[in-house]
Amino acid sequence: MPVLVNLRLLAEEPAHLEGELPAAACGMEYRDELIRFDEPLRYELDVERQPDGLLITGSLATSIACECSRCLKPFRLPVEIPELANLAPLQGEEAVPIEGDFADLTPLLCEDFYLALPANPLCRPDCRGLSQTASARDSHLEGSPSDGPSPWAALDKLKL
């Protein structure tokens, strides 16, 4: 369900919009193996008509399912944009989509939401990554480095 605002009514007075965007509305375009959208994006917006576009202020909030980029543990991350402010043009290349008397703010809200997402989500700031036992168990080498000779021992003997 898109976030639509009536341009004809905006010419008379500002509009206040509250609601939720389904997770699929923004999650379909975002590609990241560590982040999944499974909760709706809550919005509270005030929209005013300006000579060149729409002034959009308000807030966005949701919670996303993530995997830590260091240890791969699943965790939830709250994402909030408490002071959203955007001037959306009505004409030109960056214009919001307009159909009839309605402007669709959904792509603009999704873009602002994407910019608030972490590039490398971490379960906690001091995450140290996978434990040594996990990395030794998951490696393609049999045993740990202390078991038997190093696989690089033959290379160490080379005289170059």
Domain boundaries, the chain: 4-156
Q: What is the pLDDT of residue 80?
A: 95
Average pLDDT over the chain reads 86
Pick from 107, 101, 23: nearest CA to 63: 23
C-beta separation of 6 from 14 below 8 A: no
Q: What is the pLDDT of residue 32?
A: 83
pLDDT, tens digit (0-9, with 9 covering 90-100), for 18-36: 999 988 887 666 788 889 8
pTM for the complete prediction? 0.73
Beta bridge partners of residue 36, listed in sequence order: 65
How many other CB atoms sit within 10 Å of the CB of residue 142? 8
- Is pLDDT above 70 for 147? no
| Distance of alpha carbon 105 from alpha carbon 47, whole angstroms | 10
